[in-house]
Structure 1
């Protein structure tokens, strides 16, 4: 190989690397920009959010003793505030509910212990991720208008999913746990990758675990 051909190969590899870097950055930046554009005017405070029939509380870690983690407690406290303020009539708690790990049961128990009537709470035990929770709220529980509750860095993706599948959604986000800067930063960065999964789920119309209609939310709204 001559010196000239080696130099040409080096330039080609350099350009290829540059193109790869730009494309990689676009894969991260474009979905992040898109979810913000879609959701920004849909994120409100408890006082400002329009009243909707249902609060959809997205699950997070529950400890072995059934107690919700700090992040999940913050979400549940917002849902209780929405209920007490008359902004919602019922609460749908959605998470991973299995024999050995039950986010949904812990969420229900916490709300009941903090004054929300049991008959106003419905539980989705197959909300294994954000996409599943949103799709199942629409298709299995029949929700059409909701206030989504999660940490504020998570809301843009959750609201984008809801709106894309025909669920009229607003969001109230929690910032109280931001004091744990390490965990907050981790959650924020994690969303960049989760946005890519969201795009795949929406474009492929992935079907989560479904089943027959669950009328527990209907009963919670009618009670």
Structure 2
């Protein structure tokens, strides 16, 4: 027998050394973490469709019987026009121009007495409410009847600021028809007695229209989070008298 070797029992085989305890614990921890991550991913995948379907149901129910054709919408003091894309030269996109055209018709028909244009002016060079006001004034709407909200960064902010900054408690909300249910639902939840008119004239931009409808499914989830949390708008600011003065004129 070679020097330094130890005898083995007949039929026995050499045994592998046991791995260090720290290594076994580390591998077990990795397995547990992987199981938990997998379960979390599965739960998340199940919750997404539930959240989308549930939010869509809330939006539809909240707006039910509060959305009308232009000719049938009940009168209100103010038309709240929600912002949309403005081109670099300051021209409203077709979607925004269609909203403004509806608001102009509402004013001309005596359905409203003032127009609150609410949009994104977060950068100096990009000014949705300024472009909206110019479009209306250039088409005969008296300047004193148009009030600008420069911090309507999304639908919730526009509705919340209409109520809390401009003192609007009753309004006709104007946007595209795929968006109108959510806009009315959010406005009503934050304290504006809102009805809505949805534009259908830009359906000819089929790709953009379909994208807008698809986006609404997920925007409804954000709307529920916003109204349940009751968050402040991105920029709240002090009360502004513009709507009150426009109505007094």
- Structure 1, residues 37-89: CA drift from partner, whole Å, max 9, x if none? 11121110111000000000000011111110000000000000000000000
State whether structure 2 residue 60 is matched by structure 1 residue 25: no
State whether structure 2 residue 135 is matched by structure 1 residue 110: yes
**What is the aligned counterpart of 2:237 among 200, 211, 214?**
211
Using a 3 Å threshold, how does the CA distance of structure 1 residues 175 and 18 change in structure 2: closer, same or farther? same
Residue 222 of structure 1 aligns with which residue? Answer: 248
State whether structure 2 residue 126 is matched by structure 1 residue 87: no
CA distance in 1, matches of 2:47, 2:168: 38
Unaligned runs of 5+ in 2: 1-38
State whether structure 2 residue 76 is matched by structure 1 residue 52: yes
Unaligned runs of 5+ in 1: 1-14
TM-score, structure 2 normalization? 0.81
- Structure 1, residues 122-173: CA drift from partner, whole Å, max 9, x if none? 0000111110000000000000000000001111111111111111000000
State whether structure 2 residue 58 is matched by structure 1 residue 34: yes
By how many angstroms is 1:23 displaced?
3.1
Q: Greater CA radius of gyration, 1 or 2?
A: 2
Residue 128 of structure 1 aligns with which residue? Answer: 153
CA-atom RMSD in angstroms: 1.7
Q: Count matched residues.
A: 210
Residue 96 of structure 1 aligns with which residue? Answer: 120
Residue 225 of structure 2 aligns with which residue? Answer: 200
CA distance in 1, matches of 2:99, 2:60: 20
By how many angstroms is 1:180 displaced?
1.5
Q: Secondary structure at the match of 1:96?
A: coil
Using a 3 Å threshold, how does the CA distance of structure 1 residues 17 and 65 change in structure 2: closer, same or farther? closer
